[in-house]
Structure 1
Amino acid sequence: MKKHLSVRYGTIQGCYWMGYAALMGYASVYLLEKGFTNTQIGLLTAVGCIVSAVLQPALASYADRPESPSVRTMLLGANLIQLVLVISLAATAESSSMVVRTLLYGASITMLMLMIPFVNSLGMETIRQGEELDYGIGRGMGSVAYAIASWLLGRLTASFGADMIPIWAIALNILFLICVFHFPFKKDRKKAEAEKEETGAAGPVDFLKRYPSSW
């Protein structure tokens, strides 16, 4: 059971980091082809990460409440938003203005970064609930998947152009959505309430310390 659950969690990590490879690892390749300069690309990715860092405490505070949706539900919601953004990016690749591309890509980066603590917490909370899951195996699968995705994207962009990058991101978002949806996780509300009574209202710092945005 431990190996089975670890592999399922590793598949989630793998899908996430393969999508990350497209939007962050190949950001320069895609945006340079769309007319951005290196300076603009640097500013865009920096702003996306900064906005994510600003939003994370508010989301973490909400996630720590006993009455809030489960980590899995919040991750599904964030992924759906991300999917809409990358589909819009791909659909308007040739017709949108620079401003629209900037907003869509910047928002995609922000959502991508916001999801990291929730991907981590899905595994760690599963362990805390007493399930046999090896987080190291799952995270390792994510790293291997990132390396494979980087190599494949290099071949695909060389053959078909940078427009393959958002298409790849769409495919991985859909796979990620399916894997998270079928992952057996339910929020332990009684335990969350007990922890809140023992330690006080859990805040954003608690959540982010437990499940940091580690890359």
Structure 2
Amino acid sequence: MKHLQMKYNLVQMLYWVATCSLTGYIAVFLQWKGLSNTEIGIVTGMGCILSVVVGPFVSGLIGQIEHLTINKLLTIIIIYQMLIFLLITFLKLPAVIIMILDISIITLSYACVPLLSMICMNHLKVGHYINFGLARGLGSIAYATTAFS
């Protein structure tokens, strides 16, 4: 059980470090790509608003698609985000395309929060105890440490 707890702690910590990096440097990155402060505000705002709608939809895919697991879905989302980030970074794209792609990265990032909770709940359902509060607390410490750096 300690091994499972440590793995879940690590998942929470890595997720929140990545989220902090994404949100903490988005303004610098998008300004580097030529977007204005207004456009950056639109991107971050739309990403957050859409995540409220997309999060439950993404979570619902687990029960709707046969053989789709939380781990597979998270892997697909992370690969998509990495590919989109690489496209935005290395290709000269129009501002509106950069905005749409970055909105999708932000939206999917925040839509993963329920999936992380589902991992814990699934383990609890089968009798494996995981201290969600500890893992979430370590995730918050990892976020704060990353933000401070």
Partner of 2:112: 115
Give the ranges of 4+ consecutive aligned residues of structure 1 lying more than 6 Å apart after TM superposition. none
Partner of 1:211: none
Partner of 1:64, secondary structure, is helix
Q: Which runs of 5+ in 1 are unaligned?
A: 153-215
Partner of 2:144: 147
The alignment's C-alpha RMSD in Å is 2.1
Q: Which runs of 5+ in 2 are unaligned?
A: none
Partner of 1:58: 57
Aligned length: 149
Question: Residue by residue, what CA displacement relative to the aligned partner does 1:150-205 show, whole Å, maximum 9, x if unpaired?
Answer: 233xxxxxxxxxxxxxxxxxxxxxxxxxxxxxxxxxxxxxxxxxxxxxxxxxxxxx
Shift, 1:12, TM fit: 0.8
Alignment-mate amino acid for residue 129 of structure 1:
V
Alignment-mate amino acid for residue 134 of structure 2:
I
Alignment-mate amino acid for residue 133 of structure 2:
G
1:73 and 2:72 equivalent?
yes
Identity of aligned residues (%): 30
- Give the Cα–Cα distance (whole angstroms) in 2 for the partners of residues 90 and 137 of structure 1: 35
Of the two, which has the highest radius of gyration? 1
Q: Considering fraction of residues, name the structure with more helix.
A: 2
- Give the Cα–Cα distance (whole angstroms) in 1 for the partners of residues 141 and 101 of structure 2: 28
- Give the Cα–Cα distance (whole angstroms) in 1 for the partners of residues 141 and 86 of structure 2: 26
Partner of 1:128: 125
Partner of 2:42: 43
- Give the Cα–Cα distance (whole angstroms) in 2 for the partners of residues 62 and 49 of structure 1: 20
Q: If the length of structure 1 is used for normalisation, what is the TM-score?
A: 0.62
Alignment-mate amino acid for residue 60 of structure 1:
S
Question: Residue by residue, what CA displacement relative to the aligned partner does 1:121-171 show, whole Å, maximum 9, x if unpaired?
Answer: 11221122211221122111211111222233xxxxxxxxxxxxxxxxxxx
